[in-house]
Structure 1
Amino acid sequence: MSELLSLEEAQGRILALAPLLPLEQVPLTAMAGRYLGEDLRAARTQPAADLSAMDGYALAPGPGPWQVVGESRAGAPFARALAPGQCVRISTGAVMPEGADRVLLQEDAERAGDVVHAAQQPSPGRHIRPRGFDFRDGDLLIPRGARMTPARIALALAAGHAAVLAARPLRVALLDSGDELSADPSACGAHQVPASNAAMLAAMLAPLGCKVSLLGPVADNHTALAGALEQADSADILITTGGASVGDHDLIKPALARWGAEIAFWKVAIKPGKPLLVATRGVQVVLGLPGNPASCFVTAHLFVLPLVRASLGAAHPLPTTASAVVDEALPAVGARREFLRARRLGERVGLAGSQDSGALSTLAAADCLIDRPARAPALGAGSPVTIYPLDGG
């Protein structure tokens, strides 16, 4: 149980524990950031008719001139079919009248009274958005597991849907523990530090629409921890920070055992973040993160967010990577894979500051993590590296 797992093995084991949440109908207006629980197919054709792509004149076939016999505008189509030699004034997005086969641009039209000549003849089909060019009834538009962005919400609405299936919101309990933690950052003794991990984690979870409850900070004693854990009975996922290492006052493991949780594995071969703890209590999942802020953030990015995304139905829950070029030399890596807090400068990337796991100023300045494999040799400036973008840090 004390074996150090690789990043990928730990992620795989954690994703296998993801709670299966029931699906519910959700109005599309409330779907921002949530994951689609079904394949979304079009319930209508878009556009439903041939439309003009420009302002001008919808022309009947033939060389012209054309007699203007009416107008077609968006929301108010011309009601009759055109005869040869006829045209209608038309606006962008308006329905093409029956019998029209092209649109003469307004700037290419020469109009005298109700007669239109073409300074430049448009070819048949020109400046027309044909029926169904965007999508047709029954087309697969958005696959299950896709995250609903603003554009996807607009697409789903245009496809004739008012609501879609999505997993119910995930219930996440956050528990900071440690005698050194102060709940009030403005009243913090020299022997204390303000409790910040739970607030940081809550902010990381906010874009995913989780229902978050804060249970700490809690002192390092069995009674306080037991009382806090009782409040997590209804949580789908419990995330603890601090107290999961091997010190005399690291009490999370025995407290979880008394609560009824079973340790699945402990310790991952990464730096920062080695003392990651994973446990289960029935269908509940517990992730015990390190107490140092940088370690807490890195493990949350690599393990918590993927677990949450998988629980919510994401097709691709793992964090994304990118390539960059390091702008400074990096030393050789030891036995554990390292994740360096860094900042992108165009296509180059540099360290954001001290890599001490307690350095919050470095964490706040970082917008990516440099991924350095275990036992990797030293790198010179200009060398390629893999990074994990942090979407704002």
Structure 2
Amino acid sequence: MKPPPLSLDEAQARLLALAPALSVEHRSIEDCAGFYLAEPLTALRTQPAAAMSAMDGYAVRAGESGPWRVIGESAAGRPLDRPLRPGEVARISTGAIVPEGADRVLLQEDCTREGETLRHLQAAAGPGRHVRRAGLDFGANDLLLPAGTRIGAAQLALAIAAGHQHLAVRRPARLIVIDCGDELVPPGVPGLPHHLPASNAPMLAALVAGLPIEIRRLGPIPDRLEALAEAFETARPADIVVTSGGASVGDHDLIRPALAHAGARIDFWRVKIKPGKPLLVARRPNDGGSQIVLGLPGNPASAFVTGFLFMLPLLRAALGAAQPLPRCFPARLAAPLPPGGKRMEFLRARWADGEVTAGTEQDSGALRPLAHANALICRAIDAPAATAGDIVPIYWLENGGIA
């Protein structure tokens, strides 16, 4: 007797618990974009290291109202070579160190200068005005980012400003994607009416673009046990193998027997979602650990949705992400929805102008509505009918579900 399908939450939790523990390496910081921090990021220096001007103007001592004598300049990278004395000011540029003895900056547009004499046209500013104090951004030994943070453009700049040249990250994941099915022909190859271009593997590879992975595609592989067994043997060095098609219960769905032949053990099969019910997860020994095999359905919308909900989180978890699962966002419905069914549903939808609209065509074999979608509406099991204006949870697709 087949076990009942798992809920989405249980299936995701079981899958993430199997994520391979990739080794940690120290990479040049400029090669770390897209990786996840394997260790907390701590500042090695103070930023700014000294008080700096936030504006172009003149550095002066608090409590003085002028006029003053201009005695030099503090420029970015070229500080004034002596302290200010009473009655003196220094020309200062944005990002320049505030001279010793000064504690505020007068804006240049609020001043008049005649030769070396400066007068201020406004009321005197208080201490600290237009000055970035030392350590305003961070101090040495401050914790800046926790482990598991993805390194994007801003995080990369922060790490460099904090004095780092290398970062601890997990090595790139080795991923192999296999297209399965007698009906498939390679992209661009003319076929007969019973043929389909093999689009799933390139689609899944594009879905994980931007993650630090080494990816290889195999196939299309015909529905023959020996061909699938050979593909699994070729895929043995991978950390994660993703198959598309052949994971259901038909006479030609041979993923499960091919996995048994390859020495893999099925961890779970079938999830209570639509599309994507015949999802399969297995593992087999690999280099002292376990290789994870993720069997996705063959219909393209099903493959995309399960790739989004399972393949992406699995890879993120293996790479050390603190939050590998995609996050839901609330959105207002632009049009009503009928009651939900006996499985959690993911409707291809378009979010625009603050509202989300489900596509009229939700067939799991249809690619055009998927290509026009930028969101998935998440509908709970037995969800009641929804009306226009109701708030529903959505997954945002164009950034992989992460804000």
Partner of 1:69: 71
Residues 54, 209 of structure 1: alpha-carbon distance in 2 compared, 3 angstrom cutoff? same
How far the C-alpha of 1:89 sits from its partner, in A, is 0.7
3-state SS in 2 of match to 1:208? coil
Distance 2:179 2:313 in 1: 21
**Cα distance between partner residues in 2 of 1:262 and 1:36:** 32
Residue in 2 that maps onto 1:251: 254
1:227 pairs with 2:234: no
3-state SS of paired residue (1:322) = strand
CA distance in 2, matches of 1:102, 1:383: 53
Match in the other structure for 1:54: 55
Moved more, 53-62 or 294-303: 53-62
1:273-315: CA deviation from partner (whole Å, max 9, x where unpaired): 0000010102110110000000000001111111110000000
- Corresponding residue for residue 117 of structure 2: 115
Query: Where does the alignment leave 5 or more consecutive residues of structure 2 unmatched?
Result: none
1:55, CA displacement in angstroms?
0.8
1:322 aligned onto 2:329: yes
Letter in 2 for 1:273: G
Q: Give 1:267's aligned amino acid.
A: R
Among 170, 179, 203, the alignment partner of 1:176 is 179
Structure 1 position 44 matched with structure 2 position 51 = no
CA displacement at 1:184 relative to structure 2: 3.7
Selected match of 2:387 from 376, 380, 386:
380
C-alpha deviation, 1:185, in angstroms: 2.7
**In the alignment, is residue 211 of structure 1 matched against residue 214 of structure 2?**
yes
Q: Helix, strand or coil: the match of 1:295? A: helix
Instruction: Work out whether residues 367 and 392 of structure 1, in 8 Å CA contact, stay in contact via their aligned partners in 2.
Output: no
Distance 1:183 1:132 in 2: 58
Measured in 2, the distance between the counterparts of 1:99 and 1:260 equals 75
The answer to whether 1:346 aligns with 2:353 is yes
After the TM superposition, which residues 264-303 of structure 1 pair with which residues of structure 2 at under 5 Å, given as runs? Answer: 264-282=267-285, 283-303=290-310
The one-letter code matched in structure 1 to 2:118 is: V
Change in CA separation of 1:34 and 1:392 when aligned onto 2, cut-off 3 Å: closer
The answer (yes or no) to whether the contact 2:187–2:199 under 8 Å persists in 1 is no
Kindly provide the CA deviation profile for residues 71-112 of structure 1, in whole angstroms up to 9, marking residues without a partner as x.
Answer: 110000001011100111111111111111211110111111
Match of 1:14 in 2: 15
Say whether the 8 Å CA contact 2:42–2:142 is kept in structure 1.
yes
Partner of 1:166: 169
Q: Percentage identity across aligned positions? A: 56
Aligned to 2:131: 128
Quick one: which amino acid aligns to residue 219 of structure 1?
P
Cα distance change, pair 155–392 in 1 and its aligned pair in 2 (3 A): closer
8 Å CA contact 2:185, 2:197 repeated in 1: yes
**1:392, distance to aligned residue in structure 2 (A):** 6.0
Does residue 99 of structure 1 match 2:101? yes
Give deviations 1:21-77, integer Å, cap 9, x for gaps. Answer: 000111121111111111000000000111111111111342211111111100000
Deviates more, 1:108-117 or 1:129-138: 108-117
Tell me how far 1:180 sits from its aligned partner: 0.1
Equivalent-residue separation in structure 2 for 1:244 and 1:357 (angstroms): 15
1:87 to 78, 86, 89: 89
Between the aligned partners of 2:335 and 2:191, the Cα distance in structure 1 is: 38
Q: Report the RMSD for the aligned CA atoms in angstroms.
A: 1.1
Q: Is the Cα contact below 8 Å between 1:173 and 1:232 reproduced in 2?
A: yes
* CA gap 1:72/1:6 in 2 versus in 1, 3 angstroms: same
Alignment of 1:149-160 (within 5 A): 149-160=152-163
Measured in 2, the distance between the counterparts of 1:66 and 1:291 equals: 79
Moved more, 350-359 or 184-193: 184-193
- AA in 2 matched with 1:47: P
Q: Return the alpha-carbon distance in structure 2 between the equivalents of residues 223 and 264 of structure 1.
A: 23
Contact 1:55 1:106 in 2 (8 A): yes
Aligned equivalent of 1:35: 36
TM-score, reference length from structure 1:
0.98
Tell me the equivalent position of 2:372. Answer: 365
Aligned counterparts of 1:9 and 1:161: Cα–Cα separation in 2: 39
**Aligned 8 A contact 1:169 1:211 in 2:** yes
Q: Which runs of 4+ in 1 moved over 4 A?
A: none
User: Residue 26 of structure 2 aligns with which residue?
Assistant: 25
Q: How many angstroms does 1:376 deviate by?
A: 1.2
Task: Quote how far apart the aligned CAs of 1:163 are.
Answer: 1.1
Report how many residues are paired.
393
* Amino acid paired to 2:179: D
> For residues 189 and 28 of structure 1, what CA distance do their matches in structure 2 show?
50
What SS does structure 1 have at the residue aligned with 2:208?
helix
CA separation of 1:15 and 1:392: change in aligned 2, threshold 3 A: closer
- The residue type paired with residue 119 of structure 1 is L
Q: Residue 52 of structure 1 contacts residue 90 of structure 1 at CA under 8 Å; is this kept in 2?
A: yes
- Kept in 2, the 8 Å contact 1:185–1:195? The answer is no
In structure 1, distance between residues paired with 2:70 and 2:332: 63
C-alpha separation in 2, matches of 1:345 and 1:93: 41
> 2 CA distance for matches of 1:370 and 1:208?
25
Distance 2:61 2:54 in 1: 17
Tell me by how many angstroms 1:177 deviates. 0.5
